[in-house]
């Protein structure tokens, strides 16, 4: 299995530009998570989906951020317009549901975003 795939791995953009991050979860997984990691704030959950439906987006910082999951094998996180404080590593993770709670999340390699 290829694992969770994220693209691009690195993105450098100017303030005000639109940024789109992409994620392909592990085939068959029904949960998908988007995280942001910074030195100041650590690892933050932004939003997660179950069967392509957004379940909890309370971690999305503001309206400039949006996420979609049009099908089970693809999700995007969009920032429009981008700002320097959005610079971070963005991770996508996927997992299978399990009632007992022991299922792990599998993380992608991350996208390092730099907004200048």
Partner 1 sequence: GNSVTQMEGPVTLSEEAFLTINCTYTATGYPSLFWYVQYPGEGLQLLLKATKADDKGSNKGFEATYRKETTSFHLEKGSVQVSDSAVYFCALKLTGGGNKLTFGTGTQLKVEL
Residues that bind partner 1 (CB under 8 A): 4, 31, 33, 42-43, 45, 48, 50, 55-56, 91, 93, 95, 97-110
CB nearer to partner 1: give 80 or 97.
97
**CB 91 within 8 Å of CB 35:** yes
User: What is the CA 29 to chain-centroid distance, rounded?
Assistant: 15
CB nearer to partner 1: give 51 or 80.
51
**Euclidean distance between CA atoms 45 and 32, whole angstroms:** 11
CB nearer to partner 1: give 8 or 16.
8
**Euclidean distance between CA atoms 60 and 94, whole angstroms:** 18
The minimum distance between CB 108 and partner 1, in angstroms, equals 5
The minimum distance between CB 15 and partner 1, in angstroms, equals 25
The minimum distance between CB 52 and partner 1, in angstroms, equals 14
CB nearer to partner 1: give 65 or 91.
91
The minimum distance between CB 81 and partner 1, in angstroms, equals 27
What is the sign, positive or negative, of the torsion defined by CA atoms of 92, 23, 33, 97? negative
| Half-sphere CA count of 39, side-chain side, radius 13 A | 1
């Amino acid at each position: 299995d290829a694992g969770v795939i994220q693209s691009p791995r690195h993105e450098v953009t100017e303030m005000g530009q639109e940024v789109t991050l992409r994620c392909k979860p592990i085939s068959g997984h029904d949960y998908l998570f988007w995280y942001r990691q910074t030195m100041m704030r650590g690892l933050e959950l932004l939003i997660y989906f179950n069967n392509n439906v957004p379940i909890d987006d309370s971690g999305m910082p503001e309206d400039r951020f949006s996420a979609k999951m049009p099908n089970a094998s693809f999700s995007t996180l969009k920032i429009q317009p981008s700002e320097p404080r959005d610079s971070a590593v963005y991770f996508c993770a996927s997992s299978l549901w399990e009632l007992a709670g022991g299922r792990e999340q599998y993380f992608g390699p991350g996208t390092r975003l730099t907004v200048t």
